[in-house]
Amino acid sequence: MTEAASRLPVSRLGGPEVRAISRIDIGLRRRYAAERRFRAYGLAAVTIALCFLLALFGSIVGKGYTAFQQTRIAMMVDFDASIIAPDGDRSPAAVLSGNAFRFDDLIAASLQKTLELDPDDEDGLYDGLDLLSKGSAPMLRSMIAKDPSLIGTKRSVDFYATGDVDSFVKGTIRADIPESQRLIKDKHIALIDKLEKDGALHLAFNTGLFTNGASTRPEMAGVGVALVGSLYMMLVVLVLSLPLGVAGSIYLEEFAPKNRWTDLIEVNINNLAAVPSIVYGLLGLAVFINFAHLPRSASLVGGLVLTLTTLPTIIIATRAALKAVPPSIREAGLGVGASKMQTVFHHVLPLAMPGVLTGTIIGLAHALGETAPLLMIGMKAFIVEYPTTPLDPATALPTQIYMWATEPERAFTERTSAAIIVLLAFLLAMNSLAIILRRAFERRW
Amino acid sequence: AEQIHIAGSSTVLPYATIVAEAFAEANPNFKAPIVEGGGTGAGLKEFCKGVGDDTIDIADASRPIKAEELDACKAAGVTEVQEIRIGYDGIVFASDIKGPDFAYEPADWFNAIGAQVLKDGQLVDNPNAKWSDVKAGFPDWDIAAYIPGEKHGTREVFELNVLLAGCKATKAYDAFIASGLAKADAEKACAKVRKDGKAVDIDGEYNETLARIDSNKTGIGVFGLAFYENNKDKLKVATMSGISPSVETIAKGEYPVSRPLFFYVKKAHLGVVPGLKDYVEFFLADQMIGPRSPSVAKGLVPAPKSEREQVLADFQAGKTL
Amino acid sequence: MSAVQAVTPFETIRTPDAASRPVKIHTVAVKVTYGQKEALHGVSIDIPEKAVTAFIGPSGCGKSTFLRCINRMNDTIAGARVEGTIKLDDQNIYDPDLDVVELRARVGMVFQKPNPFPKSIFDNVAYGPRIHGLARSKADLEEIVVTSLQKASLFNEVKDRLNEPGTGLSGGQQQRLCIARAIAVSPEVILMDEPCSALDPIATAKVEELIDELRANFTIVIVTHSMQQAARVSQRTAFFHLGHLIEEGPTDHVFTNPLEQRTQDYITGRFG
Amino acid sequence: MSAVQAVTPFETIRTPDAASRPVKIHTVAVKVTYGQKEALHGVSIDIPEKAVTAFIGPSGCGKSTFLRCINRMNDTIAGARVEGTIKLDDQNIYDPDLDVVELRARVGMVFQKPNPFPKSIFDNVAYGPRIHGLARSKADLEEIVVTSLQKASLFNEVKDRLNEPGTGLSGGQQQRLCIARAIAVSPEVILMDEPCSALDPIATAKVEELIDELRANFTIVIVTHSMQQAARVSQRTAFFHLGHLIEEGPTDHVFTNPLEQRTQDYITGRFG
Amino acid sequence: MGPLWLLALIAGLSFFGFVLGHWKSVVLSGKGRDALAARPGYYGAYVLIWTAIPALLILVVLSVARPFLVEHTVRVNLPEQVLANPTQLSLEISGVRQVATGLKLATHEELEDIRIGVVAARSVFARHGLPLGEDVKPYQLIAASALNVVSDGLNTAVDIAVVAALAFGLIFAFVRVKPRLRARNLVESTILAILIGASSVAILTTVGIVLSLLFQALQFFSVVSPINFYFGTVWDPRFAAAGSTESGQFGFLPLFWGTIYISFFAMLVAVPIGLFSAVYMAEYATSKVRSIAKPLIEILAGVPTIVYGFFALTTVGPLIRDFIALPLGLGTSGNNVLTAGLVMGIMIIPYVSSLSDDIITAVPRSLRDGSLALGATRSETMRQVILPAALPGVVGAVLLAVSRAIGETMIVVLAAGVAARASLNPFEEMTTITVKIVNQLTGDLEFTSPQTLVAFALGITLFVITLGLNVLALTIVRKYREQYE
Ligand SMILES: Nc1ncnc2c1ncn2[C@@H]1O[C@H](COP(=O)(O)OP(=O)(O)OP(=O)(O)O)[C@@H](O)[C@H]1O
Ligand SMILES: Nc1ncnc2c1ncn2[C@@H]1O[C@H](COP(=O)(O)OP(=O)(O)OP(=O)(O)O)[C@@H](O)[C@H]1O
Ligand SMILES: [Mg+2]
Ligand SMILES: [Mg+2]
């Protein structure tokens, strides 16, 4: 009676069976070629991506690894009490105050001894001083202030050589060009040779690169403040953007009624990702600094602004991941009497976690390298002192990198690359936790 | 505000940081000042936002403050602004170290990158493709000039002291006037740069220009004196009107391409922000911007002593704009 | 084991009782529309308490659809619209004030396609009791899990691998796992959508045994394609066809003496 | 219609023939291990050409596992390891040189859980013919789709909604869709894992009809939990238990005169 | 108590509330009269919410109100002539605040000395490490001590209010814990409210962005007509010579074209490489390779853009110039659209690859099996079954990548230059909207000029354009999405 039944006998004659008897060519050769091509494209894509990474890494590390060492000049210093504490007061406060030039005298004295100069040879002394960092006297002063028991002793102190000397010793300033074009003069080269022969001039691990704050002297400049600032900012970003992003996505994807409004919001959030980050800087300036009166240059504000820039990434990734969880899982949860909330948090979210974490990894990576918005809120700045709280002025690794990249001194070039290495190491450390977590959540079903 | 907060021109930034660092070392009881870059415009904008805790105290500038900006300042309550002139910035032309020596006249630059130049007595769209077209004796290089971007203060100096001067020297200026342009418009036309890719605006920093010359060995770049000094093993500087740029020639006013540098202080903050007054005075000291100072070592062209003394006196007298 | 031996798949009807019972679920003119398509055209039926009601009917006639209305699982399908009245113990379950979660806790469901959580077997079963706080202690919980698995006659097969994922089970095992998961929360009403479709006769017999046992305390609705099964386990049978409820009544009546010709035809396999 | 009417679900064995046929699939000592767990402990069986072989056995005994070995679907499960020999037409299918794609095109499969693609019903069926280039034209393709749907006796139910997603079908409809999808590429061997589990008796009868018809040209292996079904459609029956092949032989032999006690027990439902 | 202490107190009491609620519900259910309507944990959470949220709200409200109260106090204590100058007020207030801090530092005797005027407050404060800019004026002292009184009072008030709220919430909720109480629903509605709050952050951000751009954009349009802006083909906002009012040409089209062109090349690199990488990692690679390759590729997203920029400038650009552009006679510049697109494409590969990989992996295996069993090759399965099923996620990933490309500046500046031009030749210099936004905002130009304001107009225009792009993408996804199961 039914159509199907009446057609059945007819279809028996034609249809697949006939073809089946003489097996048709299913184009395997062509399809395999396509398959191989497809696979090769995939492999090529991964390889290309990794090659790019390698090339970038190679160029950064190649330029930057030398900055992890630094030229020092060891000199015997006579911590002459009559110079340091002429009035006998050896307290740190007294060391810090008073005539600042007395420390220069200490250095000059020990330099004269090290170079075996005639005490009247002023030119020789100045040439020698040219090799030493201009920050040597403050360094000596804070050294004594920290440990007043040094006063009256004789001690060998490792002074920093200036950035130019450092670059020369490492070979980035070449000696084989005419003196007029050279950044370092013949007389200085002679002194360097002499110091090297005496063993006073040597390379040592550059701890200051990690611990010092900003300085105009490359030999004393470090990413310490920037590191702490970035750390604070990333903490703020992580603490705010991950929960906010995940919570927002859960609402939009699982709870919000599906209508034009939510469409609008979805489009909107996708669109937020395309807003240039400097605009977020403007927003942050208006909202957090001008309106909420949070301090300028503070890592808290930086973190807040970066949170806003990261949110869209996390939300988009999370929503995509939530969408990818099959509905049968939700039904299973609801079917045993779990509330929607429970189903989402117990079953759906864990399955979406890899996507959430990917969003977090990429979002944080982006946030960590972002400079433009920080410019607007005063975080591309020269800051010497460590921030103790996220409300103190700080700078960030990428802004530090940009600032160093614009410095003319040769010694900053390698430090720029070194700072990039530090940033990448920071990134890796930050991501590895997320990557481990992601591995734990990944399962196929 | 517990500490001095400075923002503004990235040209002034290096000197401001040198002084800030030295100031902090000399005065351990004050917190170290914070120095931001960001550009003159952005710095002045922050500066003119108002007075009070969460505004900056000093704006660095590579050009004098504009009247509109001062008005905006006043409207926001920043009524008393003190101007400090700290010295000069020299602008040099340099090419790859391996290339030939260049001796420019402003006219050469005008002929090389002006939008319209005089050719056989006629104003035409710049036809010169190679430096050798500009002047016999120049190498047979494609013109590739890396000049400061339009938003840079340096650009103004370049236009005024090089292009306009060259324009006048080649009589193109007269031709513009003759074609019926008003004086101001003629000056504009002189400063117009060709847009066919031979003149490349650099909005970034001098390192970018250097990198561009690295990748295009026949390019000519515009640099700050300080930058050149630090890279003279890679760059060869050109003379302008026969004068080789150096701190001395610029300070003496012989080398034509330079501009003054400033910073602006909020007078209202002087009493409130600890160390602000001391900082300004410290900045103006010989040890900071005098001829043997670290700022000069970094490339600042010092102002004559009398000028510096005058600036300090004006500041101490509380002179405002 | 004796119970199992007594039931052989080729035997026939296990004479269900025909006692009349209070109504547990009362539905009037339930219509369901998926987008444009009306899948149910107004179904009114009363489902008695503490008895097994079987839904039979050709594939695609709306059995699952109706079942999913009873615990409002259709809410989760975008575009599905339910009209009409469904009352559970005199309470309208589509009342906006009603707590769906509580409803679903009271009305459990075994889905047609087994859908274990991608968690361990233990956690699959323990999930319901955990969220409903049915176990006072760990031991308690373990007991619930073990009993549920035993009742679903899965325990022996999986006792060594309670910590392995439920998704790594065979089709029939997954189905039993879902049964165990549903009964672990001991809901008042259990909706089972073809719970034995992937089970061998012995497992089927055991599940039927379980159903028979459960009906002492619970109300059970079961969708089945097996007339024998309907005849064996249910007290009442409802026959659906093309979105209509054609006939409903005590199972023995429906099977031996149906009112409608279509029912007769379907049951005897003479459909068309 | 006559064919359908002849089959009533309560009738018994449709006497399968016992003719001996060439071997299509020859397996020796097939062992399958999932991670640590050995699911099949060495199964050796010959499956004859152009006949229906039924696999029966309790849930979890390894039927699906074995079935999945025959077209190497176990390759897709991480941690599954297959040992032993499986030959299709004298070719070892686990030979590294073997072309899996071709194998799978020759050996089709209907899964235990229906898994329609999230595409339209039409595209679900057309997918196979399209990738294999079986249709010369659009009309050709349409004909293949329609015939396949008709054979799976789904066409009437879905003819108005061929462009709607296959995932919006009822459980039984999905199952038939998957059958249609599998036969649309006309493989030499069709592996069906409980193809009728979600079907009503009439649909089941039609699918059995289809299987009967197909065996004229194809080799068919079917997993079923219904003894009646096995008896009706298969020529040979294999009984699995706990990962072992217990017995295999002509269906009437196995059902009427099994060699093993366990087989006897299982068939009569007296298991344990 | 400081705010941190208060927060700690709130946290502690909330936890205590949780324990109490939990305990009470357990005890009540143990009596066995009524079954609990929810798990004990929910009763705990119920009490926790009641304890914490009112207290937190009060703390937030008072903290927000506090500066206003303080400012008010200072104001009433300042003399007329100071108040007369409203713009100086905030400065005065900060001065007073410093004095107030100093007063707290000083010892009792010193305070007495300051009061009677024997010593200058400034020197006393300096002794305590608080440098002041100038001498303390008498009215400042008065205002400062008033401020100290008020702020001490406020501290106490906040403490009391918070403690009261805590106590009230805790007791109220504790009393209400009954077996019949539907704690789960209450807790879940609170969570839902929090979720809604979280998603509204995104909406507020949008509002904020639009507002922060709109006014200045309008200001710009009052100077430059929108028609000239949107249909202008020349971008040449000339550096206005000193004192002049002329503003230059603001043609939007070349920037728009540059943005599209560069993003197009970036996507040309990123989408195929990203998608194929994702497919390879999800389908072909061993789990070991995948677990290494995926995080490595993700690093590409975190390399600072300046690195990419210099990489483009010093390596890629010259290569493209010397090996493609020059031989073809298409251009002589090392800065070109192609370089920028290529390098930017590299940066955004991980956006496409990692997200897509996750989504592809999330597609249920049964679909894959279904296709493979039909004799489909892996690539056919991937292309025809899995990718369509994963479409929304993949499109989301691609959109994210486009967004990133559009928002990038450093790479464009260094790789493609800053010249605003529209040309079809990809070996020429061009630039993007975002570059100009950043440049116009950060240069030495005066901030009131149209040259700076144009950044806001560009920003809002870009916003609208990308909005359109996203609407388009949403429509496409809606149309082609294949919802599994
Ligand atoms: N992916 C897997 N991982 C681990 N164990 C598995 C997996 N799939 C099946 N098993 C186990 O292998 C054994 C055989 O499973 P199989 O699916 O072959 O059973 P079956 O005979 O098809 O049963 P059913 O009739 O229930 O479908 C079972 O014990 C099962 O739990
Ligand atoms: N999500 C859906 N979207 C659209 N139509 C649907 C959906 N679910 C079911 N249908 C249609 O509604 C009708 C009833 O489906 P239902 O699942 O209730 O059938 P059923 O009686 O359970 O069949 P089976 O025995 O095959 O499971 C069928 O025609 C089916 O195609
Ligand atoms: Mg159904
Ligand atoms: Mg199976």
In ligand 2, which atom is closest to the CA atom of C66? 18
Tell whether ligand 1 has an atom less than 6 A from the beta carbon of residue D168. Answer: no
Give the 3-state secondary structure of D84-127: EEEEECCEECCCCCCCHHHHHHHEEEECCCCCCCCCEHHHHHHH
Dump pLDDT digits (tens) for D32-79: 999 888 999 989 999 998 899 999 998 889 999 999 999 898 888 888
Handedness of CA A82, A85, A88, A91 (dihedral sign): negative
Q: Please indicate, yes or no, whether residues A199 and A250 belong to a single structural domain of this protein.
A: no
Sketch out chain E's domains with CATH numbers: 3-181 (no CATH), 235-484 (1.10.3720.10)
Indicate the SS3 state at residue D39. Answer: strand
Q: Which of A43, A269, A371 sits opposite E202 (nearest CB)?
A: A269
Confidence of residue D15 (pLDDT cuts 50, 70, 90): very low
Pairing state between β D80-88 and C80-88: unpaired
Residues 74-103 in D contacting A (C-alpha not used; CB under 8 Å)? 78, 99, 101-102
Q: Please indicate, yes or no, whether residues A319 and A173 belong to a single structural domain of this protein.
A: no
Please state the φ and ψ torsions of residue E427, each to the nearest 5 degrees: -100, 15
Instruction: Indicate contact of A with C: 3+ CB pairs under 8 A.
Output: yes
Query: Which of C61, C82, C194, C244 has the most ligand 2 atoms within 8 A of CB, as the residue to mutate?
Result: C61
Q: Please indicate, yes or no, whether residues A175 and A308 belong to a single structural domain of this protein.
A: no
Task: Give start and end residues of each alpha helix (H) in E177-252.
Answer: 183-223, 226-231
Q: Please indicate, yes or no, whether residues A288 and A402 belong to a single structural domain of this protein.
A: yes
Domain contains A58 = no
Instruction: Kindly report the nearest CA distance between residue E444 and chain B, in angstroms.
Output: 4
Of A173, A204, A235, the one marking the end of a domain is: A204
The per-residue DSSP string of A59-107 comes to: HHHHHHGGGGEEEEEEEEEE--HHHH-TTS--SHHHHHSS-TTHHHHHH
Separation between Cα atoms, residue D169 and residue D158, nearest integer Å: 9
Q: What is the pTM of this model?
A: 0.90
Across the beta sheet with C236-241, the strand order is C107-110, C189-193, C219-223, C52-56, C236-241, C244-250
Pairing state between β B145-148 and B199-202: parallel
Output b/e per residue, E65-98; b: 16+ Cβ within 10 A: ebeeebbebbeebbeeebeeeebbbbbbbbbbbb
Structure tokens at C65: 């659809």
Dump pLDDT digits (tens) for A391-421: 888 999 998 888 888 887 888 888 888 999 9
Distance B50 CA to ligand 2 centre (A): 69
Residues 117-156 in E contacting A (C-alpha not used; CB under 8 Å)? none
CB proximity B38 to A under 8 Å: yes
Q: Please indicate, yes or no, whether residues A82 and A143 belong to a single structural domain of this protein.
A: yes
DSSP for residue A153: -
More confident residue, D80 or D3: D80
Please state the φ and ψ torsions of residue C48, each to the nearest 5 degrees: -75, 155
Tell whether ligand 2 has an atom less than 6 A from the beta carbon of residue D108. Answer: no
Separation between Cα atoms, residue A159 and residue A73, nearest integer Å: 5
Contact at CB, C185 and A332, closer than 8 angstroms? no
Give the 3-state secondary structure of B35-59: EEEECHHHHHHHHCCCCCCCCCCEE
Domain contains A19 = no
Q: Which residue of D has its CA nearest to E366?
A: D115
Contact at CB, D60 and C193, closer than 8 angstroms? no
Query: Which of D169, D174, D175, D202 has the most ligand 2 atoms within 8 A of CB, as the residue to mutate?
Result: D169
Count contacts between C and E (CB, < 8 Å). 11
Sketch out chain D's domains with CATH numbers: 2-267 (3.40.50.300)
Q: Which residue's CA is the nearest one to ligand 1's atom 28?
A: D60
Chains that touch E (3 or more CB pairs under 8 A): A, B, C, D
Q: Which of D7, D9, D34 sits opposite C168 (nearest CB)?
A: D34
CB proximity A258 to C under 8 Å: yes
Confidence of residue C3 (pLDDT cuts 50, 70, 90): very low
Domain contains A282 = yes
Q: Which of E87, E440, E446 sits opposite B68 (nearest CB)?
A: E446
Instruction: Please tell me the predicted confidence (pLDDT) of residue E106.
Output: 78
Contact at CB, A26 and D144, closer than 8 angstroms? no
More confident residue, A11 or C91: C91
Q: Which of E40, E182, E185 sits opposite C133 (nearest CB)?
A: E40
CB proximity E319 to B under 8 Å: no
Distance C103 CA to ligand 4 centre (A): 33
By C-alpha distance, which of D170, E399, A106 is closest to C68? Answer: D170
Instruction: Please tell me the predicted confidence (pLDDT) of residue C52.
Output: 92
Which residue range forms the structural domain that includes residue A280?
224-441
Contacts of E453 (CB under 8 A, 6+ apart): E216, E217, E219, E220, E223
Domain contains A43 = no
Q: Which residue of A has its CA nearest to D158?
A: A4
Structure tokens at E8: 């700690």
Distance E375 CA to ligand 4 centre (A): 21
Across the beta sheet with A69-78, the strand order is A154-160, A69-78, A201-205
Q: Please indicate, yes or no, whether residues A161 and A289 belong to a single structural domain of this protein.
A: no
Q: Please indicate, yes or no, whether residues A408 and A276 belong to a single structural domain of this protein.
A: yes
Separation between Cα atoms, residue E216 and residue E478, nearest integer Å: 36
Cα separations in angstroms, E420 against A398, E94, E428: 27, 46, 11
Q: What is the mean pLDDT of residues E377-385?
A: 90
CB-neighbour burial class of residue E14 (10 A; exposed 0-12, middle 13-18, buried 19+): buried
- Tell me if C31 sits within 8 A of C82, measured CB to CB: yes
How many domains does chain A contain in total? 2
pLDDT tens sequence for chain B (321 residues): 578 889 988 888 888 998 998 888 888 778 888 898 888 888 888 888 887 777 888 999 988 888 888 888 888 878 888 999 888 888 889 988 888 888 888 888 888 888 888 888 788 888 888 888 888 888 888 888 888 887 777 888 888 888 888 888 888 888 888 887 788 788 888 888 887 778 888 877 788 888 888 878 888 999 888 788 878 888 888 888 888 888 888 888 788 888 888 999 988 888 778 888 889 998 888 888 888 888 888 878 888 888 888 889 998 888 887
Across the beta sheet with D91-92, the strand order is D37-48, D23-34, D80-88, D91-92
- Tell me if B321 sits within 8 A of B65, measured CB to CB: yes
Q: What ipTM was reported for this prediction?
A: 0.89
Instruction: Indicate contact of D with E: 3+ CB pairs under 8 A.
Output: yes
More confident residue, C90 or E179: C90
Domain contains A364 = yes
Q: Please indicate, yes or no, whether residues A91 and A238 belong to a single structural domain of this protein.
A: no
CB proximity E354 to B under 8 Å: no
Contact at CB, E39 and C101, closer than 8 angstroms? no
Q: What is the mean pLDDT of residues E41-66?
A: 88
Q: Residue A301 sits in a domain of what CATH number?
A: 1.10.3720.10
Q: Please indicate, yes or no, whether residues A310 and A410 belong to a single structural domain of this protein.
A: yes
Ligand nearest to the backbone CA of C62: 2
Q: Which residue carries 């550096």 as its tokens?
A: E239
Cα separations in angstroms, C35 against C38, C81, E154: 8, 8, 61
Structure tokens at C59: 């594939």
Dump pLDDT digits (tens) for A182-210: 778 888 888 888 888 888 888 888 888 88
Residue B261 β-bridge partners: B87
Q: What's the start-to-end Cα distance of chain D, in Å?
A: 41
Instruction: Please tell me the predicted confidence (pLDDT) of residue A445.
Output: 54
Of A137, A170, A204, the one marking the end of a domain is: A204
Please state the φ and ψ torsions of residue E162, each to the nearest 5 degrees: -65, -45
Q: Which residue of C has its CA nearest to D34?
A: C168
Tell whether ligand 1 has an atom less than 6 A from the beta carbon of residue C168. Answer: yes
Contact at CB, E308 and A287, closer than 8 angstroms? no
Handedness of CA B288, B294, B300, B306 (dihedral sign): positive
Separation between Cα atoms, residue D210 and residue D3, nearest integer Å: 11
* Count of CB atoms situated within 10 Å of the CB of B125: 12
Confidence of residue E345 (pLDDT cuts 50, 70, 90): very high
Domain contains A410 = yes
Using a CB-CB cut-off of 8 Å, the residues of chain A touching B224 are: 408
Dump pLDDT digits (tens) for D46-56: 999 889 999 99
CB proximity E377 to A under 8 Å: yes
Dump pLDDT digits (tens) for B56-83: 889 999 888 888 888 888 888 788 889 9
Using a CB-CB cut-off of 8 Å, the residues of chain D touching C13 are: none
Domain contains A7 = no
Contact at CB, D115 and E482, closer than 8 angstroms? no
Contacts of E423 (CB under 8 A, 6+ apart): E430
Q: Please indicate, yes or no, whether residues A193 and A272 belong to a single structural domain of this protein.
A: no
Q: Which of A5, A11, A27 sits opposite D132 (nearest CB)?
A: A27
